[in-house]
Amino acid sequence: MAAAAGARYQWLMNKPWTSLRPNSEDPTPLYLQLAHKLADEINAGRWKAEEALPPERLLSEKLGVSRVTARKALDVLLEQKLITRQQGSGTFIAPRLEHALSRLTSFTEMLKSKGFESSSKWIERKIDLPTDDEMLKLGLSPTTRVARLERLRLADGVVMAVEKSTLPAACMPDPLAVGSSLYQYLDGNGHRVVRALQHFRAVNASKKLARLANLDVGEAMLLVTRVGFTENNQAIELTDTYCRNDYYDFVAELRR
In this structure, the answer to whether residues 240 and 124 fall within a common structural domain is yes
Q: Report the CATH number that the domain containing residue 19 is assigned in CATH.
A: 1.10.10.10
Compute the distance between CA of residue 75 and CA of residue 240 in angstroms, rounded to an integer. Answer: 21
In this structure, the answer to whether residues 131 and 69 fall within a common structural domain is no
pLDDT at site 102: 43
Percent of the chain with pLDDT over 90: 38
- What one-character-per-residue DSSP string does 178-245 give? --S-HHHHHHHTT--EEEEEEEEEEEE--HHHHHHHT--TT-EEEEEEEEEEETT--EEEEEEEEEET
In this structure, the answer to whether residues 28 and 45 fall within a common structural domain is yes
Which positions of the chain have pLDDT values less than 70? 1-16, 95-111, 113-115, 246-256
pLDDT digits (tens, 9 = 90+) for 49-74: 778 888 888 889 888 899 999 999 99
pLDDT at site 236: 94
Q: Report the CATH number that the domain containing residue 165 is assigned in CATH.
A: 3.40.1410.10
Compute the distance between CA of residue 73 and CA of residue 135 in angstroms, rounded to an integer. Answer: 13
Compute the distance between CA of residue 237 and CA of residue 229 in angstroms, rounded to an integer. Answer: 7
Say if CB 156 and CB 42 are below 8 A apart: no
In this structure, the answer to whether residues 105 and 78 fall within a common structural domain is no
The domain in which residue 209 lies consists of 101-244
First to last CA, the chain: 35
pLDDT digits (tens, 9 = 90+) for 130-146: 999 899 899 899 999 99
Compute the distance between CA of residue 69 and CA of residue 60 in angstroms, rounded to an integer. Answer: 8
Looking at the DSSP assignment, which residues form a beta bridge with residue 127?
A: 147
Q: Is residue 249 domain-resident?
A: no
Q: How many structural domains are present in the chain?
A: 2
H helices of the chain, where? 2-13, 30-43, 56-63, 67-79, 107-113, 132-138, 182-188, 207-213
Compute the distance between CA of residue 240 and CA of residue 202 in angstroms, rounded to an integer. Answer: 12
pLDDT at site 15: 57
The DSSP element (H or E) to which 126 belongs, if any, is strand 118-128
Compute the distance between CA of residue 48 and CA of residue 152 in angstroms, rounded to an integer. Answer: 42
Three-state secondary structure call for residue 98: coil
pLDDT at site 2: 40
What lies within 8 Å, CB to CB, of 149 at 6+ separation is 122, 124, 125, 163, 164, 165, 166, 167, 175, 178, 182
Q: Is residue 237 domain-resident?
A: yes
In this structure, the answer to whether residues 23 and 132 fall within a common structural domain is no
In this structure, the answer to whether residues 48 and 169 fall within a common structural domain is no
This prediction has a pTM of 0.67
In this structure, the answer to whether residues 205 and 235 fall within a common structural domain is yes
CA atoms within a 13 Å half-sphere pointing along the CA-CB vector of 183: 18
Handedness of CA 103, 109, 110, 114 (dihedral sign): negative
pLDDT at site 99: 38
Compute the distance between CA of residue 232 and CA of residue 40 in angstroms, rounded to an integer. Answer: 10
pLDDT at site 106: 60
The DSSP element (H or E) to which 145 belongs, if any, is none
pLDDT at site 8: 47
